[in-house]
Amino acid sequence: MNAFMRLIFTSDFFYSIFRVTTPLLFASMGAVLSDIAGVPNIALEGMMLIAAFAGMYFSYVFGSAFLGLLCAILFAVAAAGVMAFFTLYYKTNIILGGIAINSLASGGTVFFLYLAAHDKGTSVSLPSKVLPNINIPIIGDIPIIGPVISGHNVLTYVAVIAVIFTWYLLKKTPLGYHLRAVGEKKEAADSVGISVIKTQTIALLLSGLMCGFGGAFMSMGYVSWFSRDMVSGRGWIALAAEAMGMQHPLGTAATSLLFGVADALSNAVATLGWPSDLVKTIPYCATLAGLAIFSVRAYKKSKNV
Amino acid sequence: MENYLLEMKDISKIYGNGIVANEIVNFNLKKGEVHALVGENGAGKSTLMKILFGMEAPSSGTITLRGEPVRFSSSKDAIAHGIGMVHQHFMLVESFTAAQNIILGMEPKKGFSVNEEEAVRFTEEISKKYNLEVDAKAVTRTLPVGIKQKIEILKALARGAEILILDEPTAVLTPQETDQLFEELTNLKEQGHTIVFISHKIPEIKKISDRITVMRAGKTVGCRNTADVTEKEISSMIMGCEMDTTITRTPCKKGEVGIAVDKVSYTDKNGVEVLKDFSFSVRQGMVFGIAGVQGNGQVELIDLMTKKRSLKNGDIRLGGASIEKMKIQDIRKTQFGYVPEDRIEQGIAGHESIEENMISNRYSTKEFCNKILLNYKKIAEFAKKNIESYEIRCSGGRHPVGMLSGGNMQKVVVARECSHEPKVLIAEQPTRGVDVGAAHIIHKKIMELRDDGCAVLLVSADLSEVLKLSDVVAVMYEGEIVAFFDQTEGLNEEKLGLFMLGLERHEEEQIRRAVQ
């Protein structure tokens, strides 16, 4: 137990919480943005995977991490665009559309990975680029807190900005009003001349944008390569976080952080020599527990009405 | 030729499936008038207004606005031309504040943000200008229906509406709210706005409108000055014939106690005591009417009686048996009928057929089911019989209920709840938003049940309905019975109104007589 405590109460552990929460934050903001407009995007997982591959591949091709990031975003948004095109304009069921993107991403990335790296597992043979870490002056020098907050990948800081951006967008801007109105009562939006399809398309594209960042972080920050299905359920965990956060950007960010803690814990505990298969289930158990608590609460609430 | 603000000429609308909704309809508006558009459910009023508001394109005909021909391809177009519509089902985002709803789609900006202060200021300004009082910062969800309607009207006015279409605006309002609405409308009229008032409540039309256009079966029957026609004439124009809507009442033959509510109290989740020591009973063979302004505990009372909420204090007995231990299904197995307030949410399954909706309260009985499979032949026969006896206008038993007009939808609900000879019937606003013809049929059926010895509890905000059907009347105010009349002779709406507003109250002894 002592070894456990020594492991937890270190700057390294807290640093790792932020690191593993980063992709969850991006994905869960993507979930909030789409769900609030009434288009539940279950393809977060697939979009992130596409972005992760595109980021790795194009940073290798162009030799530039920045161009890699740009392409990651571009591809994720394009995937969201495809989904919007079929589900909003051609009325495919949005869940089916999401499943299609997820399967396409899972198989497609392996296919292109083989073409590019002649390997069906990872891209370690390709010298791809990594986005830089940022040391914050002054704050970085503060003992204990400094090493926790400073020195993260640039996208970790972007993730925090993404949360604030999402909150500001939804709460303060006309577009945010339109997204919320369309999600809550389409007819109301329609009756004042707001195009429902256009607004929902924007929601899905924004969701794709978030996945672009999240995916890029996976292959160009979290690790420096692409491996098959490397997003490993983070898109789904984000959906859970969004549901528990009641679609509120800040609430969702808080629950994402909670899942981040669970994830960091499973990483840290693995070094203690506990059975690794069991330890790896911690984040997923946390998801299950979280969803159970959430649904019990929602059920109680609905019964009281 | 007179100078009309708007003229719709020879409008026809034929839908893709061949249904003719409007046939050579003519409709015009003079500036600054209140023009009532009346007709039964399904007479084509809504279609005509949808055409005017750009939601539907006419198959043929012309629209002239301010002397110029116009063609609207969307509501946005219509709004741009100064036409606004207040739909019967409100188009409001419930989680938004009043101000946010009003400025939606035309938000004032400050940098990238919506200028909330400006939105509130703007709302208060137009609210003052048109004398439509709303709290700009209140969340819409928490507001009563009357206020939501004001927000809707303001929404239209804020977009520069000069012609305001109100689709059955009084269907959801209490008498007090209706009076207030009429005042507001008169006020708007004086400010130069033109109002189209869709309704089928004749006394209201008589009260508020300057001119009337009557529609029947997709055609215009005629346009008159309101002052020149009597209520009876309007009624016969609507129905196409003189219709006798009086109910002949046989003397009340009281039987055993059918419904007994004994000392029921209920506190809602906000800690408000909604029902206070509430007691009454209904004997078989009589109609017990409960009058009252909405929101005085009626909904909670019915919910407790039908097990939508669980009873904690007091006892309720239906047909002699306490419902405390019963499930909804058990209550349904007794001879029990319930016509819910909200037919679309609770009364029907819209996508399903008339046949299926007719048996949804007893699909598992031997009558329609051999334990495993449903007997569709019997179901079809049963539905056919009811369609005839309730005069439900439809293409047949397979017609989806959701496609019917409100009145016919309600007839399906009433047919289901009344055709198995119930001994207990709870009717909650049975004819709200239903046209005169359908209402009459429903009233007749309720009275037939009463004569056959059913205990009927009628909860209604429509006082004329309460007075017409009830043998005894109780008035509900703030969760209590404040008045009890053991006969309806000599009783009128004004008298009931005093009790409904809490201005008067009967002696305890008289109130206690509600338990019979």
Phi first, then psi, for residue B405 (nearest 5°) are -75, 165
What is the model's pLDDT at position B18? 66
Does B112 sit within 8 Å of A192, measured CB to CB?
A: no
Does A194 sit within 8 Å of B96, measured CB to CB?
A: no
* Domains (range + CATH), chain A: 21-126+153-230 (1.10.3470.10)
* Whole-number Å distance between alpha carbons of B147 and B155: 12
Exposure of B70 in the CB half-sphere (CA atoms within 13 A): 23
Residues 68-107 of B with CB under 8 A from A: 74-76, 79, 85, 87, 89, 91-96, 100-101, 104-107
Q: Which of A173, A181, A190 sits opposite B113 (nearest CB)?
A: A173
The length of chain A in residues reads: 305
Residue at which a domain ends, from B183, B210, B239: B239
Q: Is B198:B166 a contact under the CB 8 Å cutoff? A: yes
Does B104 sit within 8 Å of A194, measured CB to CB?
A: yes
Does A190 sit within 8 Å of B93, measured CB to CB?
A: no
H or E stretch including B477?
strand B472-477
Token pair recorded at residue A24: 């969850």
Chain A CB contacts of B101 below 8 Å? 188
Least confident stretch, A63-67, A125-129, B380-384, B500-504 = B500-504
* Winning range, highest mean pLDDT, from A202-211, A265-274, B59-68, B445-454: A202-211
Does B269 sit within 8 Å of A173, measured CB to CB?
A: no
Considering the domain architecture, whether residues B231 and B267 belong to the same structural domain is answered as no
Q: Is B71 inside any structural domain? A: yes
Token pair recorded at residue B57: 């394109």
* 3-state SS track over A246-303: CCCHHHHHHHHHHHHHHHHHHHHHHCCCCCHHHHCCHHHHHHHHHHHHHHHHHHHHHH
Predicted ipTM > 0.90: no
Q: Which of A173, A181, A305 sits opposite B104 (nearest CB)?
A: A181
Chain A CB contacts of B74 below 8 Å? 193
Going from the C-alpha of B439 to that of each of A267, B103, B382, B392, B451, the distances in angstroms are: 70, 39, 22, 12, 18
Q: Which of B74, B75, B269 sits opposite A304 (nearest CB)?
A: B269
Does B105 sit within 8 Å of A189, measured CB to CB?
A: yes
Q: Is B277 inside any structural domain? A: yes
Q: Is B409:B403 a contact under the CB 8 Å cutoff? A: no
**Mean pLDDT along residues A16-31:** 95
H or E stretch including B212?
strand B211-216
The length of chain B in residues reads: 516
Distance from CA of B159 to the nearest CA of A (A): 9
Going from the C-alpha of A57 to that of each of A53, A65, A66, A221, A224, the distances in angstroms are: 6, 10, 12, 14, 11
Chain B CB contacts of A174 below 8 Å? 107, 109, 114
Distance from CA of B358 to the nearest CA of A (A): 28
Exposure of A227 in the CB half-sphere (CA atoms within 13 A): 8
Distance from CA of B73 to the nearest CA of A (A): 12
Evaluate if residue A278 carries a pLDDT over 90: no
* Whole-number Å distance between alpha carbons of B273 and B155: 35
Chain B CB contacts of A173 below 8 Å? 112-114
Residues 146-175 of B with CB under 8 A from A: 155, 159
| Per-residue pLDDT tens digits of chain B, which is 516 residues long | 467 899 999 999 887 666 678 889 999 999 999 999 988 777 788 889 999 998 888 999 999 999 899 989 888 889 999 999 998 888 999 999 999 999 998 999 998 999 999 999 999 999 999 988 899 999 998 888 888 999 999 999 999 999 999 988 887 777 778 888 999 999 999 999 999 999 878 888 899 999 999 988 888 888 999 999 888 888 888 877 666 777 778 888 888 899 999 999 998 877 778 899 999 999 999 999 999 877 788 989 999 998 888 888 889 998 888 888 888 888 888 888 999 988 888 888 888 899 999 998 888 888 888 878 888 899 999 999 999 988 888 888 888 888 787 788 899 999 999 888 889 999 998 988 787 788 888 999 999 999 999 999 999 888 888 999 999 999 998 889 999 998 888 888 878 888 887 888 899 888 888 887
Going from the C-alpha of B390 to that of each of A192, B339, B343, B440, the distances in angstroms are: 40, 15, 17, 10
**pTM score:** 0.76
* Whole-number Å distance between alpha carbons of B314 and B303: 14
Evaluate if residue A100 carries a pLDDT over 80: yes
Interval A153-163: pLDDT, tens = 999 999 999 99
Residue at which a domain ends, from B239, B268, B296: B239
* Whole-number Å distance between alpha carbons of B258 and B320: 7
Considering the domain architecture, whether residues B420 and B340 belong to the same structural domain is answered as yes
Residue found under tokens 């000879």: B421
> Which residue of chain B comes nearest to A199, CA vs CA?
B105
> Which residue of chain B comes nearest to A173, CA vs CA?
B113
Q: What angle do CA B5, B10, B13 make, to 5 degrees?
A: 110
> Which residue of chain B comes nearest to A192, CA vs CA?
B105
- Identify which has the larger pLDDT, B67 or A44: A44
Q: What angle do CA B250, B438, B55 make, to 5 degrees?
A: 165
Considering the domain architecture, whether residues B228 and B264 belong to the same structural domain is answered as no
Contact B140/A at CB under 8 A: no
What is the model's pLDDT at position A302? 62
Q: Is B388 inside any structural domain? A: yes
Distance from CA of A25 to the nearest CA of B (A): 24
* Winning range, highest mean pLDDT, from A13-17, A71-75, B5-9, B315-319: A71-75
Contact A184/B at CB under 8 A: yes
Phi first, then psi, for residue B62 (nearest 5°) are -130, 150
Residue B131 identity (one-letter amino acid): N
- At B150 the three-state DSSP class reads helix
Considering the domain architecture, whether residues B232 and B277 belong to the same structural domain is answered as no
Does B105 sit within 8 Å of A178, measured CB to CB?
A: yes
Distance from CA of B76 to the nearest CA of A (A): 5
What is the model's pLDDT at position A303? 59
- DSSP letter at B82? T
- At A115 the three-state DSSP class reads helix
Does B91 sit within 8 Å of A185, measured CB to CB?
A: yes
Q: Is the dihedral of CA A212, A213, A219, A224 positive or negative?
A: positive
Total beta-carbon pairs less than 8 A apart between chain A and chain B: 63
Spell out the residues 6+ positions from residue B54 whose beta carbon is closer than 8 angstroms to its own. Answer: B72, B73, B74, B75, B76, B77, B78, B83
Considering the domain architecture, whether residues B234 and B332 belong to the same structural domain is answered as no
Considering the domain architecture, whether residues B136 and B190 belong to the same structural domain is answered as yes
What is the model's pLDDT at position A304? 52
Residue at which a domain ends, from B239, B270, B302: B239
Distance from CA of B421 to the nearest CA of A (A): 33
Q: Is B405 inside any structural domain? A: yes
Considering the domain architecture, whether residues B161 and B283 belong to the same structural domain is answered as no
Considering the domain architecture, whether residues B270 and B312 belong to the same structural domain is answered as yes
Domain that holds residue B272: 257-512
Considering the domain architecture, whether residues B349 and B431 belong to the same structural domain is answered as yes
* Whole-number Å distance between alpha carbons of B462 and B432: 8
Considering the domain architecture, whether residues B283 and B224 belong to the same structural domain is answered as no
Chain A CB contacts of B76 below 8 Å? 193
What is the model's pLDDT at position A27? 97
**Mean pLDDT along residues A217-245:** 92
- The total of structural domains in chain B comes to 2
Q: Is B249 inside any structural domain? A: no
What is the model's pLDDT at position A305? 45
* CATH code of the domain in which B490 resides: 3.40.50.300
Q: Which of B74, B114, B269 sits opposite A177 (nearest CB)?
A: B114
Token pair recorded at residue B12: 């026809």
DSSP characters over B267-319: E-TTS-EEEEEEEEEEETT-EEEEE--TTSSHHHHHHHHTTSS---EEEEEET
Single out the residue of A105, A86, A109 nearest to residue A96, CA to CA. Answer: A86
Considering the domain architecture, whether residues B214 and B316 belong to the same structural domain is answered as no
Considering the domain architecture, whether residues B358 and B487 belong to the same structural domain is answered as yes
Q: Is B107:A192 a contact under the CB 8 Å cutoff? A: no
Q: Is B250 inside any structural domain? A: no
**Mean pLDDT along residues A66-75:** 96
Distance from CA of B457 to the nearest CA of A (A): 24
